Structure 1
Amino acid sequence: MRQTWLRAFLPAAMSASRTERLLGCCGALVGVLVTGFLCTWLAGPAASTPMLIAPLGASAVLLFAVPGSPLAQPWSIIGGNTVSALVGVTCAQWIGDPLLAAPLAAALAIGAMFALRCLHPPGGAIALTAVLGGPAVTAAKYGFVLSPVALNSAVLMLAAIAFNNATRRPYPHAQQVSRSNPHETADRNPTERLGIRTEDLDAVMRDYHAVLDVSRDDLDELVQKAEMHAYRRRFGEITCADVMSRDVVAVQFGTPLAEAWRLLRRHDIRALPVLDPARRVIGMVSDVDFMRNAELDHFEGLGARFRQSIRRLTTVHAERPEVVGQIMPRTIRTVAETTHVAELVPLMADAGFRHVPVVDGHRRLSGIISQSDLIAALYRGGLNSEEAGEQRKAA
């Protein structure tokens, strides 16, 4: 029993990669350095208060080491630090004894941050700084709230936005999740109909009755990945290479529209990968793209308008598209041969992809998976699961 109690004091293993740890250190260096220089320059030589406050180091830890935390978001740092400074200065002005003013300032600052939904741990330190910061802070009175607190917080936040997005770490983090339906109907996304729904997660979080230091979208993503891992354990390792179509009909950027349309009709397929000379996938063109290009959402003259859209132009300057590269979407999603088919479910069910190209280690096309291929893979996985269950019962 005593060993179990002592074990609670041991830290858990860090899951952050070396890259993430290095980015956290570099981000704090850049953020605090930029904040110090800029705030000192804005304040000028006549500034009577320090242009960098110590609690800003704690804010830097949150903004650069754990930028996905709800405690590190822009409203948390701006609102949390500012309201805490306001509370601290008020306590310092109205309560003469620092031993009473300091703890009261910390407690009221936490309450104010909860009320304003801007909980930020360094705010507690700022509230204490407003009371115990010395003659310079006391003399500044409520000016301390704007400069350096609000000014430091705003500059550090802008530095965090620039640095984190430059290093491909999304910031700010969305705190509310809305899974849109690609069909724009009242039905739920397909993966939500049988799995965990957003309201299920919301209900659990409401019943938790404590602060979770993880963003709503990160938690939702973790649950989805856990479901994918559970699926893989149940149905076995079925990769894209196992179920993809290998004899793929493809086109290049400069393939004429009429030729690409004939390929779709001749092979009775719905999409064509677009490749560069090295057979790397640069796009996908589908029958929907042809329809959209021909403006076939109007009913009059459908056939004539479509034939006109794919007919080769004889003039030098074309006002309408001639080749597939001009009508293909600019965004393309590919998967690797080793990708588990379970990871295709969100792409095809929620994101609305009907075909996904499969590429090798050099990003060259090696196959394609359609929605029918995914259905076949899921059916095969279900049969394998049933057979394994029967074998365990027989044993």
Structure 2
Amino acid sequence: MKFFLWGSEKLPNRPKLLDLFQGLLGGTLAILTLEYLTIYSSSYFIMAPFGASCVILFAVSQSPLAQPRNVIFGHLISAFIGLIFLKLFGDSIFITALAVGCAIAAMQFLRCVHPPAGANPLVILLTASQVNYDFSFLLFPVLSGSISLVIIAYAVNNLLSKNQWPIYWLAFFNDKKKE
């Protein structure tokens, strides 16, 4: 059984030093910026799933999951679904699970899958008893924070990488088939 044979898989290549530095710099700068924006403004710019977004933005920036459309709309859509479920159905364990499933399906359907965004309904529904959520949460921290992450990723990824980032921005209609 191949599953139990340790060492039979091939690990990915070890990242280059510049790639490690890009992840270190990008993640640090992004979270530090969101924290300072939160401290020096009257609004929140940061939430826990943004840490995972930084991993994707700075460690695998060429992935479709790391493109601005996916980061911004993935977070926005999944947080919206979390808020809708909270307002309509409350915060039971079944509703929480269903909200995450619906967020995943919506991101797939709208072609903006961003795995860290799948945590947004969890953040909303698991903390609903401590936080009074309203739809302004979509602006601060969800939209403002995800746009800030994209701006920082643009600067860091294009400064340090030989690959241009992003591969695409916010394309909505790209279904034309090449003949």
TM-score bucket of the superposed structures, by smaller chain? 0.7 to 0.9
Q: Give, in angstroms, the shift of residue 10 of structure 1.
A: 7.3
Task: Give the SS at the match of 1:113.
Answer: helix
Structure 2: tracts of 5 or more residues without a match: 170-176
Higher RCO, 1 vs 2 (CA within 8 Å, ≥6 residues apart): 2
**Contact 2:35-2:45 at 8 Å conserved across structures:** yes
Indicate the residue corresponding to 2:84 in structure 1.
Answer: 90
Where do 1:76-115 residues align within 5 Å? 76-115=70-109
Where do 1:330-349 residues align within 5 Å? none
Task: Give the distance between the partners of 2:118 and 2:7, measured in 1 at CA.
Answer: 24
Q: 1:126 aligns with which of 113, 120, 126?
A: 120
Indicate the residue corresponding to 2:172 in structure 1.
Answer: none
Task: Give the SS at the match of 1:140.
Answer: coil
Q: 2:52 aligns with which of 58, 70, 76?
A: 58
Task: Give the distance between the partners of 2:20 and 2:51, measured in 1 at CA.
Answer: 16
Indicate the residue corresponding to 1:41 in structure 2.
Answer: 40
Q: Give, in angstroms, the shift of residue 41 of structure 1.
A: 2.7
What TM-score comes out, normalization by structure 1 length? Answer: 0.40
Indicate the residue corresponding to 1:14 in structure 2.
Answer: 12
Q: Give, in angstroms, the shift of residue 8 of structure 1.
A: 7.8
Q: Is the counterpart of residue 140 in structure 1 residue 133 in structure 2? A: yes
Amino acid in the other structure paired with 1:150: L
Task: Give the distance between the partners of 2:45 and 2:145, measured in 1 at CA.
Answer: 8
Larger Rg: 1
Number of residue-to-residue matches in the alignment: 169
Indicate the residue corresponding to 2:27 in structure 1.
Answer: 28
What TM-score comes out, normalization by structure 2 length? Answer: 0.84
Task: Give the SS at the match of 2:62.
Answer: coil
Task: Give the distance between the partners of 1:70 and 1:106, measured in 2 at CA.
Answer: 21
% identity of equivalent residues:
33
Task: Give the distance between the partners of 2:166 and 2:116, measured in 1 at CA.
Answer: 18
- Given the superposition, is the C-alpha separation of residues 9 and 134 from structure 1 closer, same or farther in structure 2, using an over 3 Å criterion? farther
Where do 1:1-395 residues align within 5 Å? 1=1, 4-7=2-5, 12-15=10-13, 16-42=15-41, 44=42, 47=43, 51-135=45-129, 137=131, 139-168=132-161, 169-174=163-168
**Contact 2:74-2:114 at 8 Å conserved across structures:** yes
**Contact 1:92-1:98 at 8 Å conserved across structures:** no
Structure 1: tracts of 5 or more residues without a match: 176-198, 203-395
Task: Give the SS at the match of 1:105.
Answer: helix
Which structure features the higher share of helix residues? Answer: 2
Q: Give, in angstroms, the shift of residue 125 of structure 1.
A: 0.5
- Given the superposition, is the C-alpha separation of residues 19 and 108 from structure 1 closer, same or farther in structure 2, using an over 3 Å criterion? same
Cα deviation, 1:273-316, whole Å, max 9, x if unaligned, reads xxxxxxxxxxxxxxxxxxxxxxxxxxxxxxxxxxxxxxxxxxxx
